[in-house]
A and B are shown apart, each in its own frame.
Chain A
Amino acid sequence: MKRNGKNSLVFWLFLAPVLFAFVMVIVIPFFLGVFYSFTNWSSSARADNALRFVGLVNFQKGLRDPTFGYSFLITIVYTVINMIVINVVAFLLALLVTSKTKLRNLYRAGFFIPNLIGGLILGYIWQFIFNNAVPSLGTFLGFTSWANPANLILAKRTSAIAAMIAAGTWQYAGYIMVIYVAAIENVPVELHEAAQIDGASPFTRMRVITIPMASQAFTITLFLTLVQSFKQFDVNVSLTAGGPSTIFMGKPIFGTELLAMNIYDTAFVSNDLAGGQARAVIFFLVLAVVSMAQVSINKKREIEL
Chain B
Amino acid sequence: MKKAKIGILALEIISAVLFLIFLFPFFIVFINSAKVPFEITQNPMSLPEDWSNIFKNIAAIWTDKNLHYPESFLSSIIITVTSLVFLNLFSAQAAWALVRTKTRTSSFFFLVFIAAMVIPFQIVMFPLLSWFRELSTLTGIRLLRSYAGILLAYIGFGISQSIFMFHGFTKSIPLELEEAATIDGCNKAQVFYRIVFPILKPIQATVLVLNGIWIWNDFLLPLLILGKGNKVMTIPLAVANFAGAYVKQWDLILTAILMAMVPIVIFFLIAQKSIIRGMVAGSIK
What's the least CB distance linking B101 to chain A, in Å? 5
Cβ A25 vs Cβ B236 within 8 A: no
Cβ B22 vs Cβ A170 within 8 A: yes
Per-residue CB proximity of A33-52 to B under 8 Å, as 1/0? Answer: 11010000000001100000
Specify the chain A residue showing the minimal Cβ separation from B212: A116
Specify the chain A residue showing the minimal Cβ separation from B253: A124
Which residues of chain B from 247 to 278 have a CB within 8 Å of any chain A CB? 250, 253-254, 257, 260-261, 264-265, 267-268, 272, 275-276
Q: For A287, list chain B residues within 8 Å (CB).
A: 118, 120
Q: Indicate whether B6 reaches chain A with its CB closer than 8 angstroms.
A: no
Per-residue CB proximity of A12-55 to B under 8 Å, as 1/0? Answer: 01110111011011101110111010000000001100000000
Q: Indicate whether B55 reaches chain A with its CB closer than 8 angstroms.
A: no
Cβ A117 vs Cβ B264 within 8 A: yes
Q: Indicate whether B93 reaches chain A with its CB closer than 8 angstroms.
A: yes
Cβ B220 vs Cβ A233 within 8 A: yes
Q: For B216, list chain A residues within 8 Å (CB).
A: 118
Decide: A113 near B265, CB < 8 A? Known: A46-B130, A121-B260, A124-B243.
Answer: yes
Q: For B126, list chain A residues within 8 Å (CB).
A: 33, 36, 267, 273, 276-277, 280
Which residues of chain A from 229 to 276 have a CB within 8 Å of any chain B CB? 231, 233-234, 237-238, 260, 263-264, 267, 273, 276
Other-chain contact of B250, A10, A114, A128, A178 (Cβ < 8 Å): A128
Decide: A111 near B94, CB < 8 A? Known: A3-B103, A33-B124, A132-B44.
Answer: no
Q: For A8, list chain B residues within 8 Å (CB).
A: 101, 188
Cα separation A46 to B254 with both chains bound (whole Å): 42
Decide: A126 near B25, CB < 8 A? Known: A137-B45, A267-B126.
Answer: yes
Cβ B127 vs Cβ A121 within 8 A: no
Other-chain contact of A11, B40, B101, B125, B163 (Cβ < 8 Å): B101
What's the least CB distance linking A186 to chain B, in Å? 10
What's the least CB distance linking B85 to chain A, in Å? 12
| Interface residue tally for chain A (C-beta within 8 Å) | 95
Cα separation A3 to B239 with both chains bound (whole Å): 52
The segment from A61-69, A92-100, A148-156, A296-304 that touches chain B is: A92-100
Decide: A18 near B163, CB < 8 A? Known: A97-B15, A120-B219, A128-B250.
Answer: yes
Q: For B96, list chain A residues within 8 Å (CB).
A: 14
Cβ A231 vs Cβ B120 within 8 A: yes
Decide: A36 near B127, CB < 8 A? Known: A3-B102, A3-B104, A128-B250.
Answer: yes
| Interface residue tally for chain B (C-beta within 8 Å) | 89
Cα separation A277 to B23 with both chains bound (whole Å): 40
Q: Indicate whether A194 reaches chain B with its CB closer than 8 angstroms.
A: no
What's the least CB distance linking A70 to chain B, in Å? 18
Per-residue CB proximity of B188-228 to A under 8 Å, as 1/0? Answer: 11001000000000000000000001001111100000000
Cβ A231 vs Cβ B122 within 8 A: yes
Q: For B19, list chain A residues within 8 Å (CB).
A: 103, 106-107, 110-111
Specify the chain A residue showing the minimal Cβ separation from B134: A47
Decide: A25 near B124, CB < 8 A? Known: A103-B15, A118-B236, A133-B28.
Answer: yes
Q: For A74, list chain B residues within 8 Å (CB).
A: none
Cα separation A115 to B124 with both chains bound (whole Å): 26
Specify the chain A residue showing the minimal Cβ separation from B155: A21
Name the residue among A25, A129, A175, A179 with the largest chain B CB count within 10 angstroms.
A25
Q: For A5, list chain B residues within 8 Å (CB).
A: 101-103
Decide: A283 near B102, CB < 8 A? Known: A25-B153, A126-B25.
Answer: no
What's the least CB distance linking B120 to chain A, in Å? 6
Q: For A115, list chain B residues within 8 Å (CB).
A: 213
Cβ B106 vs Cβ A178 within 8 A: no
Cβ B18 vs Cβ A24 within 8 A: no
Q: For B40, list chain A residues within 8 Å (CB).
A: 132
What's the least CB distance linking B104 to chain A, in Å? 6
Q: Indicate whether B159 reaches chain A with its CB closer than 8 angstroms.
A: yes
What's the least CB distance linking B50 to chain A, in Å? 19
Q: Indicate whether B43 reaches chain A with its CB closer than 8 angstroms.
A: yes
Q: Indicate whether B29 reaches chain A with its CB closer than 8 angstroms.
A: yes
Cα separation A214 to B103 with both chains bound (whole Å): 37
Q: Indicate whether B240 reaches chain A with its CB closer than 8 angstroms.
A: yes
What's the least CB distance linking B243 to chain A, in Å? 6
What's the least CB distance linking B30 to chain A, in Å? 11
27 contacts between A and B (CB under 8 A): A11-B101, A14-B93, A15-B94, A17-B86, A25-B156, A26-B119, A26-B156, A29-B127, A30-B119, A33-B126, A93-B18, A96-B18, A113-B23, A118-B219, A119-B217, A121-B236, A124-B243, A125-B254, A128-B32, A128-B44, A129-B28, A175-B279, A181-B280, A234-B219, A263-B122, A277-B123, A281-B123
User: Which 3 residue pairs across A and B have the least CB separation, nearest first?
Assistant: A25-B156, A118-B217, A14-B97
